[in-house]
Amino acid sequence: MKKLWRVLFYTVVIGYAVLTMIPFLWSILTSLKSTPDMDKFWVPLSSLTLENYTYIVTKFPFFKWLLNSAIVAGSVTLGNLFFNTLAGYALARIKFPGRGLIFYVVLGVMMVPGQVVMIPVYIMLANWGWINTYQGFIIPFLTSSFGIFMMRQFFLALPVDLEEAALIDGLSRWGIFFRIALPLAKPALAAQTIFMFLGNWNSFMWPSLLASSDDMYTLPVGLNSFHWQYVAYWNQDLAGTMFMTIPMLLVFLIFQRWFIKGIATSGLK
């Protein structure tokens, strides 16, 4: 009986792992097939080729899209780390009139779906001439109510003693923030980096709304437009898909310990 359970258990564990991996492996395999072999299920390993990858990066601005994605996701992540942490700290630790109000506003706007502001923000950015520009992709997204809330909760949970001791030693508030609080906030900062970078790297709706020429596309927008031009050539289509997916998978595999821990420690509190 116990043995039966173990077999069943491992069947589920491995079975779901296989289900998870098949779409990746099958896509990678197809992306390595030459066009005449494209529709064959099995091809000899020796006939696999990288020609689809060289073709798509020479014919389409995939590297430009990669660069755009890196610039946008990178700047947005940095901005959020800086601004949300400052605000989260102030809301948790510094007493000033209006603090409660600001906190409730942050909490309130967290509930409003992004689609509500999509139209007004689009109109505003259009009036400013910010459509199809980096500033249009970056500046509206530099802070996030979720990030502020997360950082406030984190600092509230942190014991205040260390900061009080620093105060007695004559450190200013700036000194306390940068030299005491910030180093202690590393796990929360790591989690925030992951959320923000992942969310922005993969974001599709906003960039497809705000990018109007293909040299300003981010990778998801570029891939979508590429896909519909190349829908008959699945090998090239999937090479494009893997071009965008594999770097993220590698980043994840390198940092997976922090990834999973970061989400686990801050997903809830």
Partner 1 sequence: MRTRGDLATGYLFVLPVVVSLAVFLIGPILYALYISFHHFSFLAPDQATFAGLDNYLKLFKDPRFIRALGNTSLYSLGVVPIQIAIALMLALIVDAKIKGKTLFRVVYFLPTVTSTVAVSVMFMYLFKNDGLVNFVLSKLSIPTFDWFNSLTFALPAVMMMAIWTTVGQFMVIYLAGLQDIPQELYEAAEVDGATPWQRLRFITWPMLKPTTFFILIMSIIGTFQVFDQMYVISKGEGGPQDRTLTVVFYLYRAAFKDFDMGYASAMAFALFLIILLLTIIQRKFFKEETN
Distance of closest approach, residue 168 Cβ to partner 1, in angstroms: 10
Choose one: 47-55, 60-68, 182-190, 235-243; the region binding partner 1 (CB under 8 A).
Answer: 235-243
Single residue of 66, 71, 173, 182 touching partner 1 by CB under 8 A: 173
- Residue burial 98-128, b: 16+ Cβ < 10 Å; e: rest: eeeeebeebeeeeeeeeeeeeeebbeebeee
- Do residues 147 and 191 make contact, with C-beta atoms less than 8 angstroms apart? no
What is the chain's length?
269
- Do residues 102 and 91 make contact, with C-beta atoms less than 8 angstroms apart? yes
Q: What angle do CA 75, 64, 58 make, to 5 degrees?
A: 160
What are the distances in angstroms from CA 199 to CA 42, 79, 205?
36, 14, 11
Q: Is there binding between residue 30 and partner 1 (CB under 8 A)?
A: yes
Single residue of 55, 227, 233, 258 touching partner 1 by CB under 8 A: 227
- Residue burial 165-188, b: 16+ Cβ < 10 Å; e: rest: ebeeeebeeeebbeebbeeebeeb
Single residue of 23, 100, 159, 183 touching partner 1 by CB under 8 A: 23
From 241, 93, 106, 221, select the one nearest 167 (Cα to Cα): 93
Number of residues engaging partner 1 in binding (CB under 8 A): 96
Site for partner 1 in 42-81 (CB under 8 A): none
Single residue of 56, 185, 196, 244 touching partner 1 by CB under 8 A: 244
Q: Which string of x and - marks every residue 77-116 that binds partner 1 (by CB under 8 A)?
A: ------xx-xx-xxx-xxxx--x--x--xx--x-xxxxxx
Q: Is there binding between residue 21 and partner 1 (CB under 8 A)?
A: yes
Choose one: 47-55, 56-64, 181-189, 224-232; the region binding partner 1 (CB under 8 A).
Answer: 224-232
Choose one: 51-59, 60-68, 166-174, 184-192; the region binding partner 1 (CB under 8 A).
Answer: 166-174
Choose one: 44-52, 60-68, 158-166, 185-193; the region binding partner 1 (CB under 8 A).
Answer: 158-166
Q: Is there binding between residue 232 and partner 1 (CB under 8 A)?
A: no
Distance separating the N- and C-terminal Cα atoms of the chain: 41
Choose one: 47-55, 56-64, 137-145, 178-186; the region binding partner 1 (CB under 8 A).
Answer: 137-145
Q: Is there binding between residue 239 and partner 1 (CB under 8 A)?
A: no
Q: Is there binding between residue 233 and partner 1 (CB under 8 A)?
A: no
State the Cα–Cα distance between residues 113 and 205, nearest whole angstrom. 13
Q: Is there binding between residue 260 and partner 1 (CB under 8 A)?
A: yes
Identify which of residues 174 and 183 has a Cβ nearer to partner 1 in the complex: 174
Q: Is there binding between residue 136 and partner 1 (CB under 8 A)?
A: no
Those residues with Cβ within 8 angstroms of residue 213's Cβ, 6 or more apart along the chain or in another chain: 132
Q: How many helices (H) and strands (E) does the chain have?
A: 14, 0
